[in-house]
Amino acid sequence: MYRYDQFDHQITAERVAQFRDQVRRRLLGELAEDEFRILRLQNGLYMQIHAYMMRIAVPYGMVSSDQMRMFAHIARKYDRGYGHFTTRQNIQFNWLKLQDAPDILADLATVEMHANQTSGNCIRNITSDEFAGVARDEIIDPRPYAEILRQWSTFHPEFGFLPRKFKFSITGATTDRAAIAVNDVGLQAVRNEQGEVGFRVLVGGGLGRTPFIGTEIASFIPWQHILTYSESIVRVFNEYGRRDNLYKARIKILVNAIGIDEFRRQVEEDWKFTKDGPCTVTQAELDRVAACFTAPAYEKLADVALPSDNKAFSNWVARNVKPHKVAGYASVVLSLKNAGIAPGDATEAQMDAVADLADKYSFGELRITHVQNLVLADVKQADLFALWEAAKASGLATPNIGLLTDIICCPGGDYCTLANARSITLAKAIDERFDDLDYLHDIGEIDLNISGCINACGHHHVGHIGILGVDKSGEEWYQITIGGNKGSPANIGKVIGRSFSFAQIPEVISRLLQVYVAKRDEGERFIDTLRRVGPDPFKEFVYATPVPEEAKLQMPDYELMAQGTPYDTPLYSPRF
């Protein structure tokens, strides 16, 4: 993991002091809310329906066990005992008070964390591959570069007030697990013929109202130039990105409007002034940062045969345990997708428990995945059974990674002021309908994504099945897309037809799956069959006969609260 030096500590401490003073001025009324808003957002603080929400940066998804314990502490001390891991590998706390925000930042600083630029129109927390450093298909470990980019983008004086938020994602592997094609800038490590490391650069990807897959702006930028090149991209965006319309302000709109060739020309025109200048990354700096990401002290082990007499354990291994590049080790995904709990939520007790598991089994480190689960990257295969039992005891061993119930879902109408429809509650309804593990394993890998509105926080466009909440005369409806894919290759899904009510959705999903089961060839995943046969059979079957509503879901008290979840979730936001 990256460790702060005295300079990182000092910058972080000065940031806390700055924000403490801004909050003080806000509470005194010296700062109006519209002036304060932009400042609090740059510190990850949102104002939600019920309370302030803080999004804490987890750079490229890496956390130490001490940092995880700090999350548990924040959940206990300032929140209602839980937190929410997000699709950008961060964590959010939903029930905070403004007065506490500076103390929370100060507490975070003690474990080398912050909430800088997790919101607002600036360069956001940089995301990466959750299996960075351990994946078998890795060309280089992207984390040193991600950290160098993090420092460059932190409080960049020119880029604090961009037309819109700006997201970087970086991968060092051949399989894209970091969704680089749907970020404003996507960086993919490659080696040229001489074996030198550089980056293929994509620009202008994004979801939301007008989804775009990123376009290649450069096929090889040597690693030394990654800061200057990135800076030129953001500079051109800062000057020319639209500021008249919130929904047309992302870089994807600019790139699409002027074309990639013109955009590239402008970037290169600017870059020629800085290329090879002082911001060229030095070998010494790369070495310093890379030294933080060296492999842990692996023991020399052989791969072991796992016990096969326990079906539940075998199921879990099949779904939640991933291969590791070092013999005798494996990576384990702890599922935060459990029936009745909002996808990505973890209680303070669970956070403490996973921190302990990380200390005991995985060199004290964890990763947060962009599908809102947790990863213990370096577990001895011989420890898997004991780890499984411990994870089970904490409710973190649901064997559903990659399966239908590993749903990606935004907060939706239960929390979010912008929502057209509920997401978390719908995820729960789907979870209940498809609770038969054997069926889920038979259906196999499928990405189901839910967004409560077109802002697409749940990445519905890139779900194999995507569900989008839409508003029809003030009522909640859902539109279904199929055929999306988040990477290798990234694809935007297509709408299948008219939308459905909340209570119809589980049946709609069931029909889509029935077509898959009827049409699939041996070994095909849902998305493979869909690509082979096309969307028509799916559409036809879904709409062939009226879709019944599930009776239970129509009951007005169908909500999380009734199920005794650890916290109270209002059924509807005040907007409804």
Q: Which residues bind other proteins (CB under 8 A)?
A: 5-7, 10-11, 14-15, 17-18, 22, 35, 38-39, 121, 151-163, 227, 235, 238-239, 243, 273, 278-279, 281-282, 284-285, 288
What the block records as the tokens of 464 is: 């194999």
Q: Examine residue 208 and tell whether it contacts ligand HEM (CB under 6 A).
A: yes
Contact letters (x/-) for ligand SF4, 458-497, by CB under 6 A? x---------------------------------------
φ/ψ (deg, to 5) at 389: -65, -40
Contact letters (x/-) for ligand HEM, 393-412, by CB under 6 A? -----------------xx-
Count residues binding ligand HEM (CB under 6 A): 20
Q: Examine residue 452 and tell whether it contacts ligand SF4 (CB under 6 A).
A: yes
> Could you tell me the sign of the dihedral formed by the alpha carbons of 474, 477, 482, 485, in that order?
positive
Q: Which does 474 bind (CB under 5 to 8 A by kind): other proteins, ligand SF4, ligand HEM, none?
A: none
What the block records as the tokens of 127 is: 């995301």
Task: Say if CB 181 and CB 202 are below 8 A apart.
Answer: yes
Classify residue 172 as left (phi > 0), alpha (psi -120 to 50) or beta: alpha
Task: Say if CB 52 and CB 576 are below 8 A apart.
Answer: no
Q: Examine residue 342 and tell whether it contacts ligand SF4 (CB under 6 A).
A: no
Task: Say if CB 423 and CB 459 are below 8 A apart.
Answer: no
Q: Which does 338 bind (CB under 5 to 8 A by kind): ligand SF4, other proteins, ligand HEM, none?
A: none
From the list 206, 214, 399, 484, which residue makes contact with ligand HEM (rule: CB under 6 A)? 206
* Dist. CA 82–CA 349, nearest whole Å: 8
From the list 41, 358, 457, 560, which residue makes contact with ligand SF4 (rule: CB under 6 A)? 457
Q: Examine residue 451 and tell whether it contacts ligand SF4 (CB under 6 A).
A: yes
Q: Examine residue 490 and tell whether it contacts ligand HEM (CB under 6 A).
A: no
Kindly tell me which of 86 and 335 has the beta carbon lying closer to ligand HEM: 86
Q: Which does 86 bind (CB under 5 to 8 A by kind): ligand SF4, other proteins, ligand HEM, none?
A: ligand HEM
Cα distances (angstroms) measured from residue 29 to each of 16, 26, 34, 96, 456: 20, 5, 12, 20, 35
Q: Name the residue number minimizing CB distance to ligand SF4.
A: 452
From the list 174, 256, 280, 455, which residue makes contact with ligand SF4 (rule: CB under 6 A)? 455
Kindly tell me which of 23 and 409 has the beta carbon lying closer to ligand SF4: 409
* Dist. CA 481–CA 469, nearest whole Å: 11
**Using CB under 6 A, which of the segments 6-14, 120-128, 262-270, 448-456 binds ligand SF4?**
448-456
* Dist. CA 571–CA 520, nearest whole Å: 38
Residues whose CB is less than 8 angstroms from the CB of residue 135 and which lie 6 or more positions away in sequence, other chains included: 129, 173, 175, 177, 325
CA angle 462, 54, 456 (to 5 degrees): 20
CA 239 to chain centre: 28
Q: Examine residue 560 and tell whether it contacts ligand HEM (CB under 6 A).
A: no
Min CB(413)–ligand SF4 separation in Å: 7
From the list 51, 418, 437, 470, which residue makes contact with ligand HEM (rule: CB under 6 A)? 418
Please give the helix or strand (H or E) that residue 408 lies within, else none.
strand 408-409
Q: Examine residue 182 and tell whether it contacts ligand HEM (CB under 6 A).
A: yes
> Could you tell me the sign of the dihedral formed by the alpha carbons of 230, 233, 238, 244, in that order?
negative
Which residue has tokens 């889920």? 440
* Rg of the chain on CA atoms, in Å: 23
Q: Which does 392 bind (CB under 5 to 8 A by kind): ligand HEM, ligand SF4, other proteins, none?
A: none
Residues whose CB is less than 8 angstroms from the CB of residue 77 and which lie 6 or more positions away in sequence, other chains included: none
Q: Which amino acid is at 217?
A: I
Q: Examine residue 87 and tell whether it contacts ligand HEM (CB under 6 A).
A: yes
Which residue has tokens 């559903």? 400
Q: Examine residue 410 and tell whether it contacts ligand SF4 (CB under 6 A).
A: yes
Q: Examine residue 238 and tell whether it contacts ligand HEM (CB under 6 A).
A: no
Min CB(78)–ligand SF4 separation in Å: 22
* Dist. CA 565–CA 500, nearest whole Å: 27
**Using CB under 6 A, which of the segments 74-82, 83-91, 146-154, 219-227 binds ligand HEM?**
83-91
**Using CB under 6 A, which of the segments 25-33, 127-135, 386-394, 447-455 binds ligand SF4?**
447-455
- Secondary structure in 3-state letters for 247-310: HHCCHHHHHHHHCHHHHHHHHHHHHHHHCCCCCCCCHHHHHHHHHHHCCCCCCCCCCCCCCCCC
Q: Examine residue 127 and tell whether it contacts ligand HEM (CB under 6 A).
A: no
Q: Examine residue 335 and tell whether it contacts ligand SF4 (CB under 6 A).
A: no
Contact letters (x/-) for ligand SF4, 269-298, by CB under 6 A? ------------------------------
Kindly tell me which of 45 and 227 has the beta carbon lying closer to ligand SF4: 45
Q: Which does 452 bind (CB under 5 to 8 A by kind): ligand HEM, ligand SF4, other proteins, none?
A: ligand SF4
Identify the three-state secondary structure at position 478: strand
Kindly tell me which of 31 and 379 has the beta carbon lying closer to other proteins: 31
Kindly tell me which of 163 and 487 has the beta carbon lying closer to other proteins: 163
φ/ψ (deg, to 5) at 424: -60, -45
**Using CB under 6 A, which of the segments 214-222, 453-461, 472-480, 486-494 binds ligand HEM?**
453-461
* Dist. CA 576–CA 572, nearest whole Å: 6
Q: Examine residue 1 and tell whether it contacts ligand HEM (CB under 6 A).
A: no
> Could you tell me the sign of the dihedral formed by the alpha carbons of 427, 179, 83, 350, in that order?
positive
Min CB(241)–other proteins separation in Å: 9
Task: Catalog residues that contact ligand HEM under the rule CB under 6 A.
Answer: 48, 86-88, 92, 164-165, 182, 206-208, 250, 410-411, 415-416, 418, 455-457
Report the interface residues with ligand SF4, using CB under 6 A. Answer: 410-412, 416, 418-419, 423, 451-453, 455-458
